[in-house]
């Protein structure tokens, strides 16, 4: 696993952050058939890979006392945080019909906003709004992807089908910053 973020080269905090993100991918790849297409039922979707790694690395950074996790999540919405521009709000305004499950954004340059940023929020939504244990979302369900398939494993552990999740989450992520940030109030 590598990172191509040039700005991390001489920045110890960003370098640590990047290493934590990539380390999460090592776990993910070990529990899927990563050689298959990402739309395969025994591999992960891009938002699952990038979003969950973005979420988990941000939580680790907070645990290390290096960032404020909630502030970081808000920054993803407002200006893209440390990932890139535009942020989620501007992206959704420009592309209201984006699809989290679409695997073609890599080719047209929209991958960071969909997979990393919105994917991190999808992960946060599962944990903080749907009240699925963080360990389940970031770790446990991955063990069932190969034997059950991604869709069945997701439904088993998240208690919602992927299609229903996409519909529900799409309505959520398009709300105002104040509304979406409320999912962290019970923490």
Q: What is the pLDDT of residues 28-64, one digit of tens each?
A: 888 888 888 878 888 889 999 999 999 999 999 999 9
Number of structural domains, the chain? Answer: 1
- The mean per-residue pLDDT over the stretch 94-121 comes to 92
Percent of the chain with pLDDT over 70: 94
141 in any annotated domain: yes
106 in any annotated domain: yes
Q: What is the pTM of this model?
A: 0.91
**Structural domain for 44, as ranges:** 6-184
Structure tokens at 85: 């521009």
Mean residue pLDDT across the chain: 90
1 in any annotated domain: no
């Amino acid at each position: 696993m590598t990172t191509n973020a040039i700005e991390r080269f001489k920045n110890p905090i960003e370098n640590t952050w990047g290493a934590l993100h990539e380390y999460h991918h090592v776990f993910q790849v070990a529990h899927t058939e990563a050689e298959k297409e990402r739309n395969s039922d025994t591999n992960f979707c891009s938002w699952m890979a990038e979003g969950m790694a973005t979420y988990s690395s941000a939580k680790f950074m907070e645990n290390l006392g290096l960032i404020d996790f909630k502030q970081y999540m808000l920054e993803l919405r407002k200006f893209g945080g440390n990932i890139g521009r535009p942020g989620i709000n501007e992206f959704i305004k420009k592309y209201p019909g984006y699809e989290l499950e679409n695997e073609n954004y890599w080719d047209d340059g929209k991958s960071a906003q969909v997979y990393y940023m919105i994917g991190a929020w999808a992960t946060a939504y599962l944990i903080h709004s749907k009240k699925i244990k963080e360990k389940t979302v970031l770790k446990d369900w991955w063990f069932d992807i190969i034997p059950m398939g991604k869709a069945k494993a997701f439904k088993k552990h998240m208690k919602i089908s992927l299609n229903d999740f996409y519909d529900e989450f799409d309505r959520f992520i398009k709300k105002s910053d104040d509304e979406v940030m409320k999912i962290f109030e019970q923490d």
